[in-house]
Structure 1
Amino acid sequence: MNANVHLVKTLLKYTFGLVPIVAGLDKFTNILTDWSQYISEGFAEMLPFEPSTFMMIVGVIEIIAGILVLTKTQIGAYVVSAWLVAIALTLLFSWSYVDVAVRDLVMAIAAFSLAKLSEGNPIK
């Protein structure tokens, strides 16, 4: 395998493995930001529990997705890509944090690229 391709795959693998884990853990501490601010008021009113509880559930999903990228890169990268698209669409539909939505769509493309690079050639 080309050394540059291997380097890109490795960088993407650890980026999309570690960042979701860190972001997921932060859903429990809110050190980086108050994550519940990203929930629209309408959606928050529909929740049967507090928005902070919802964000903790999201955090668990993100931690699992990150671990999946690190252990089963191709599958995990597809999961992270889909997750980022879902987040971006949610933000676009509420027309809040559109800049974050665009950033998440770009990251989804990068995660999808990792999945495609990982087809048939697992990172060792």
Structure 2
Amino acid sequence: MSSTTTSVAPRRGLTADPAYQAFWILRAGFTVAPVLFGLDKFLNLLVDWPVYLAPWLDDLVPGSARTAMYAVGVVEILAGVVVAVAPRFGGWLVAGWLAGIIVNLLSIPGYYDIALRDFGLLLGAVALARLAARFHGAGRSS
């Protein structure tokens, strides 16, 4: 009778890998933050979100800026869920969404600092997508 033992060393090695840790930090952050920001579009606890919609965009969308922010909230919640279940796609989705937010903010005087911050977040979302290509799927459990 023979028995085999499975080594846990490779798994420990992976969890000790700084790139793998960065993947999980970014995945958690880009899951939780969009969901929380999306929920706040309905509550306006953090800020009065409609003021962040550029006037030219407000003219394009039907209804009020507040109604537009409700739609934004739904998209952000969905983006967070997509990052949780499919980070390779979700990272690119969030990066694209942030690019749109940056264009919107750059067209409103006085919001350039927030656009710059969102550019940093966009880079983080791209990093998540690239790390997910290595660590998510392809026979790996995560």
Asked if TM exceeds 0.5, the reply is yes
Higher RCO structure, 1 or 2 (CA under 8 Å, sep 6+): 1
Runs of 5+ consecutive residues of structure 2 not aligned to the other structure:
1-13
1:68-119 Cα shifts (integer Å, max 9, x gaps): 0001011001100111111001211334411110111110001000100111
Alpha-carbon distance in structure 2 between the residues aligned to 1:100 and 1:33? 13
Runs of 5+ consecutive residues of structure 1 not aligned to the other structure:
none
Q: Which residue of 2 aligns with 1:19?
A: 33
SS at match of 1:94: coil
Alpha-carbon distance in structure 1 between the residues aligned to 2:51 and 2:85? 31
Q: Which residue of 1 aligns with 2:102?
A: 88
Q: How many percent identity over aligned positions?
A: 32
SS at match of 1:31: coil
Shift in Å at residue 121 of structure 1? 2.1
Q: Which residue of 2 aligns with 1:77?
A: 91
Q: Which residue of 1 aligns with 2:22?
A: 8
Count of residue correspondences: 124
**Cα RMSD over matched residues?**
1.5
Deviates more, 1:60-69 or 1:47-56: 47-56
Q: Which residue of 2 aligns with 1:98?
A: 112
Bigger Rg over Cα: 2
Detail structure 1 runs of 4+ shifted over 4 Å in the superposition.
Answer: none
